[in-house]
């Protein structure tokens, strides 16, 4: 592909290109703003455009469709997260691990709408509905199993409920990322990583039996 020598873009052409970029950014910001205020299922093309006092089809001058806009927003989120993580990595070596994790957490909860877009959690439809009884049963089963394992080792869980939530979160994190093809190497590698980390994570939940 040969790059033809451009005849120096005219002054107003440059201005319009800049305005295009600004419009594009405004659309992204509008979508994010609506999501922040009313959740992702309030985000419609008409409302995004309306917030900037434009009509709906304007969006297609800047994005291939709604989904493309969301993907772009996901990229924005990851860029921001990378920034913050590298900032947190400047903490002293002893504090660094906590700083990184704390920053990740803070980022997610400072901009839940972004975090949701980044991780395909659009809507979070069940967040409001109370946890169904069946879910509690599943959790309880899990907790009892963990306790039985501890007991078999002549120990007990320091905080049974906490241990349950912690290990459950880990399993869910592994599955969730693997299912979204977010772990390089495919599901087999993901599964192995999960199983490998399981033992130390569990062991840390134990204390000697009284």
Partner DNA sequence: TTCATAGATCTAACAGTGCTAGATATTAGA
Partner DNA sequence: TCTAATATCTAGCACTGTTAGATCTATGAA
Range 141-200, binding its own copies (CB under 8 A): 141-142, 144-146, 148-149, 152-153, 161-162, 165-166, 168-177, 179-184, 187, 189-191, 193-200
Minimum Å gap between C-beta 65 and DNA is 3
* Stretch in the footprint of its own copies (CB under 8 A) among 26-34, 45-53, 54-62, 88-96: 88-96
- Residue choice 8, 134, 208, 210 for contact with its own copies (CB under 8 A): 134
- Residue choice 81, 111, 114, 157 for contact with its own copies (CB under 8 A): 81
Pairing state of beta strands 155-157 and 206-208?
antiparallel
The CA angle 193-115-128, to the nearest 5 degrees, is 100
Alpha helix (H) ranges present in the chain? 11-38, 45-51, 66-88, 93-110, 112-118, 133-152, 160-179, 186-203
Residues lying near DNA in the complex (CB under 7 A) are found at 10-13, 15-16, 19-20, 23, 43-47, 49, 53-58, 60-61, 65-67
């Amino acid at each position: 592909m040969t790059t033809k020598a451009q005849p120096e873009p005219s002054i107003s052409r440059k201005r319009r290109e800049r305005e295009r970029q600004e419009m594009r950014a405004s659309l992204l910001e509008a979508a994010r703003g609506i999501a922040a205020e009313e959740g992702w299922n309030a985000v419609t093309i008409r409302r995004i455009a309306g917030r900037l006092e434009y009509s709906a089809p304007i969006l297609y001058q800047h994005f291939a469709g709604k989904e493309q806009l969301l993907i772009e927003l996901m990229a924005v989120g990851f860029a921001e997260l990378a920034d913050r993580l590298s900032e947190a990595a400047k903490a002293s070596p002893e504090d660094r691990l906590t700083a990184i994790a704390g920053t990740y957490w803070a980022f997610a909860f400072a901009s839940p709408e972004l975090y949701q877009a980044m991780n395909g959690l659009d809507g979070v439809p069940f967040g409001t509905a109370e946890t169904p009884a069946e879910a509690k049963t599943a959790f309880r089963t899990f907790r009892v199993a963990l306790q039985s394992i501890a007991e078999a080792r002549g120990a007990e869980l320091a905080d049974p409920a906490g241990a349950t939530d912690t290990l459950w979160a880990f399993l869910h994190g592994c599955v969730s990322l693997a299912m979204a093809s977010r772990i390089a190497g495919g599901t087999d590698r993901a599964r192995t990583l999960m199983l490998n980390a399981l033992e130390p994570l569990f062991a840390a939940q134990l204390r000697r039996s009284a």
